[in-house]
Chain A
Amino acid sequence: MKRARIAWQGGIHEARPHGADQLRLADGRIVGQAEVTWLPPVQPRTVFALGLNYADHAKELAFKAPEAPLVFLKGPNAFTGHRSFSRRPADATYMHYECELAVVIGKAGYRISKADAYDHVAGYTVANDYAIRDYLENWYRPNLRVKNRDACTPLGPWLVDRADVPDPMALRLTTRVNGVTTQQGTTADMIFDVPTLIEYLSSFMTLSPGDLILTGTPEGLADVKAGDVVDTEIEGIGCLTNTIVDDAGWFGAAGQGAHAQ
């Protein structure tokens, strides 16, 4: 089963797919997928993200693979839904997407063993963990100015139940920019797989329902510019679409300077 969270007619709804282009709400209403506002399919609680968790990507960034998971956190400001905009600021020269399998925790636990790890997973969705490398600094790297910008982590479209994903460690990842494939990989190439990450994180902190683990991205990063349409897709999980906008496209009449009253 897969479900979305959407805003429609002044309310927030859980929706299921209905054919290829429509959604069915709980009360039976059928609406077009292009008509609704897509929200992240879960309201994220604590969100972990992995850096350098694919050997080829680590090599691409000229790092040797880490010995322990390189984890950073994101706040709720970072998330946005399917078919939304993400802002590329005027001074950015290199903003890249990152297609990632997002694991949604469904059951609380502390000191969870690898063998029990999947019992704590509710399901999976897709994340696009944009980074703006101009702001990278060697202090708590990757720093929040690179990775925790407002609405720069699209999430969705669907939460897919764990039962519908027999092997999350063998899924193809693909990113397309304006329809052209730029990134391809497989979750089989993760350095620290999903059970290992759950065991590691829960060795010092309690995982709770609604927590998310963004499991990192393979090689194939490329700069994206305003107007680019970016599809991050994971086999069996979904295809998450996002559009890059510039400051004018984001702020509109509010202008590009500092906050205007």
Chain B
Amino acid sequence: MTSKPLPLAGTVYGVVMNDRVSVARLGAAAAEAPYKGAPRAPVLYIKPANTLAAEGAAVRLPQGEARVEVAATVGIVFGAPAARRTPADALETVAGYLLVADLSLPHASYYRPAIREKCFDGACPVAARVVPVAEAGTLAHLTLHTFFDGLPVAERTLADLLRDVPQLIADVSEFMTLHTGDVLLVGVEYQSPQAAPGTKVRIDGGALGALAFSIAEEAR
């Protein structure tokens, strides 16, 4: 599946419920069972090594699956270990940013870890290059545009993060070390657009470049 070299070697962590759109979409359900209240700590998940796919990959869905959510996001790439950081010194550990498409089989609930849904082979296509911090500009000014077969399907800004990059690093590194080479995704939108097999996906990330891949016709 991996046709080109990957620009990372560490572990990829992600977070949900870190933007105002997701919180609004989930709405009053967050207060009810099974959640019984909005999350206190960052809601994290892991995209393991088998999910990484290079620019240009044709991602094959697991048997029996005909739809996949495509969530454009940005990965914080660590250039030094981040452990017990404060927001004031968190950015010292960041080497750069990476445009990422977090793929999920559609799942409405965030109650249980979504392993089958988020960890199938190829479920994390990443752009070809980590963009150094100095070149990336201000993340809050970025807008990510997602296209299916050339047509725009989603647009998201990074200005509405509940925890911005320094705060997210501080709150995650309070209990777990993010090592050099690890990647922390800044968040995916709840219920991102769904693609069918055969779809060509392109994400335009402004200063972070672009990422193109496809969803293969054939299941794996």
Contact = CB atoms under 8 A, between A and B. Distances in A.
Interface of A: 45-46, 48, 70-78, 110-111, 135, 137-145, 148-150, 203-206, 208, 258-259, 261
B176 A204 contact: no
B113 A73 contact: yes
B65 to A, nearest CB: 9
Interface stretch (B36-44, B143-151, B197-205): B36-44
A135 B171 CA distance: 13
Given A46-B49, A139-B110, A75 B11 contact: yes
Select the residue from A48, A76, A139 with max chain B CB neighbours within 10 A: A139
Contacts, number: 113
Given A75-B46, A140-B112, A204-B116, A149 B84 contact: no
Nearest to A72: B113
How many chain B residues sit at the interface, stated as a range, is 35 or more
A44 to B, nearest CB: 10
B158 interface: no
A261 B89 contact: yes
Contact of A76 (B11, B113, B121): B11
Interface of B: 11, 13, 16-17, 34-37, 39-41, 43-46, 48-51, 62-63, 83-86, 89, 110-116, 119-121, 173, 175-179, 182, 220
A204 B177 contact: no
B43 A143 contact: yes
B218 to A, nearest CB: 14
A77 B48 contact: no
Q: Is the interface of A mostly helix, strand, loop or mixed?
A: loop
Given A148-B176, A150-B176, A206-B121, A141 B50 contact: no
Given A110-B220, A141-B111, A259 B179 contact: no
Given A46-B49, A71-B115, A140-B113, A150 B43 contact: no
A258 B115 contact: no
A216 to B, nearest CB: 14
A75 B13 contact: yes
Nearest to A254: B84
A144 B114 CA distance: 13
Contact of A140 (B43, B83, B84, B177): B43
Q: Give the top 9 A-B pairs by smallest Cβ distance, nearest first.
A: A259-B84, A46-B48, A204-B62, A73-B46, A139-B43, A144-B44, A72-B113, A204-B120, A71-B115
